[in-house]
Amino acid sequence: MRLPPTTALISIAALAPEVRALAVPPAQAPLPKRDNLDQIVLPGFPHPNPTVSYWQDPPHRIANLRTTPELPTTDVFDYVIVGSGISGAAVAFKLLSRDPNLSILMLEARTAAGAASGRNGGHCKPGDWKEVKDWVELYGEDEALRIGKMEQDCVDDVRNFVKTHNVSSGWQDVETADVYWTKEAFDEAVEIKKFQDELQQRRPNDGPWSNKRTVYAGQAARDYWKWPQILGAVAYTSHTQNPYLTVCALLEQGLEKGLNLQTTTIALSIDQVSNSSEAGAKWEVKTDRGTVQGKQVVLATNSYTNALHAGLASTGFLVPQRNQVAAVHPSKDTSNNTVFRRSHSYPDLHSGNNYIAIRAPGDIGAGDVIVGGSTKFSPTRERNITDDSVINQDIADDLHGVGRVVFGYENWGETTKVVKDWTGIICNTPDGFPVVGGLPNEEGLWASACMNGHGMAWAFRSAEALVQMMAEGETPTWFPKAFDINRAWNYTAEE
């Protein structure tokens, strides 16, 4: 694992900085020609022609990068990582930060960060902490605190990465609110806040306490948030960003350290090498451009993991789901209206489970309102769909109307301009947690996948834990046991 990269590998880190800069192609380089693109619509694999998200326009300068023009099929890499989303990017970055001598190849079916990480709702939000009561019941207090702390630490780590590297991804620290429209839901939120307060008193050193939660009830909520119809809100610190630009910056950090990225290259199958060569190849990954070899392989394939691993697929534990987002613009000028400026919210409106982020003054598209959710307007709830080349019009219709209802005609104006609609695929597990770790009985095959629509708050720390497992052979004590990939095989679907 600590061998220097093989000489045949053209590593851009080995080049002088001025040459290295040239290795990155200019913005909007044309897609590499691939005659068979239309045929590669394999069930369960990333669709080759996805909708373009708000964040991906214009494409990043590494969007179509192939570090080496040819797929390096003769080298044996220390790691082959499949997937260039935040999971794969973070694993590469963290591995190379520990040991710059590692040789790492990353395969990406689409353009860089072209799946969920480049097409989400733009929140980096420690919002799952409100599930703490359930976690205590299911896993005990220590584990519940570990999960909550990990979420907050993960969000803080992403923020720290963006700040340390001066990433221009429109990162904003914002006051967020979980907003309630029904008395039952708000009463429950207040109960949970009490539960958290009691836990904090008893365990002052163990939880995500750096982020204070504030309850606004009834008229106080309406006065503070100025939303006419709400019954209450729980506010805390969160963040909005262009996730695509953050993840491309993370990939660029890896590239500077020698990562070989091969975009528009689909991994089709992964097989153990029975007659390991002198160079130590243990795994072969077959792609549409040839077969590559690695000592270890990392699945950072989120909602597409089942397609590459029949054993995991057979557990039924990982279930893809299509999610949809709209960028809309109110007809009134909102630039000086604090109702919009303070926002970034999660209104529990008509049970649409909507999440809203607003482009800040100074951002490209300032005042655009990014709305996600409304999955319930699909009879199938969009479950088990991996085609994000189309949008669902019923969901779009609802998303376009949510902002005006939330903020009111007075603030919003009477019409709404639709800037963009797009879809993306998330991956859900029955318990709501990702799968992280080594695949059982397959030495050198690892995964950090299935982020349950919450990857901006989970993937970075999951990658950190996985890197420690791979490099040191042990799981860090701060990492939730609830994320262990082995549990997938303990699962039996309810009839």
Ligand X SMILES: *[C@@H]1O[C@H](CO)[C@@H](O)[C@H](O)[C@H]1NC(C)=O
Among 138, 165, 269, 291, binds ligand X (CB under 6 A): 165
Part of the chain binding ligand FAD (CB under 6 A), chosen from 63-71, 86-94, 226-234, 470-478: 86-94
DSSP code per residue over 417-441: EEEEEEEEEEEE-TTS--EEEEPTT
**d(Cα 249, Cα 162) in Å, to the nearest integer?**
8
Q: Which is nearer to ligand FAD, 226 or 487 (CB)?
A: 487
Binding test (CB under 6 A) with ligand X, winner from 490, 492, 494, 495 = 490
Contact string 318-357 vs ligand X (x = CB under 6 A): ---------------x-xx---------------------
The b-or-e profile of 13-42 (16+ CB within 10 A means b, else e) is: beeeeeebeebbeeeeeeeeeeeeeeebeb
Cβ(483)–Cβ(435) below 8 Å: yes
83 makes contact with ligand FAD (CB under 6 A): yes
Q: What are the helix (H) ranges across 226-302? A: 243-256
DSSP bridge pairs for 418: 328
> Least CB distance from residue 17 to ligand X, whole Å?
13
Q: Which is nearer to ligand X, 119 or 487 (CB)?
A: 487
Tokens of 448: 């950090």
**From CA 430, how far away is CA 213, in angstroms rounded?**
28
Instruction: Report the site for ligand FAD in 367-396 (rule: CB under 6 A).
Output: 372
Residue 294 lies near ligand FAD (rule: CB under 6 A)? no
Residue with tokens 């030495």: 443
- Measured in whole angstroms, how far is the alpha carbon of residue 480 from the centre of its chain? 18
Q: Which stretch binds ligand X (CB under 6 A): 19-27, 85-93, 199-207, 269-277?
A: 269-277
Single out the segment in contact with ligand X by CB under 6 A; choices: 111-119, 122-130, 215-223, 271-279: 271-279
User: What's the closest the beta carbon of residue 275 comes to ligand X, in angstroms?
Assistant: 4
Find all residues with CB under 8 Å of 265, minimum gap 6, and list them.
66, 71, 107, 108, 109, 287, 288, 289
Give whichever of 205 and 490 is closer to ligand X, judged by the CB atom: 490
Give the residue ranges of DSSP H helices in 357-458.
393-407, 409-412
Residues engaged in binding ligand X (CB under 6 A): 2, 4, 43, 99, 101, 165-166, 273, 275, 277, 281, 333, 335-336, 384, 484, 486-487, 490
Report the interface residues with ligand FAD, using CB under 6 A: 45-46, 82-88, 107-110, 114-117, 119-123, 266-267, 300-302, 304, 308, 323, 325, 372, 424-426, 451, 453-457, 459
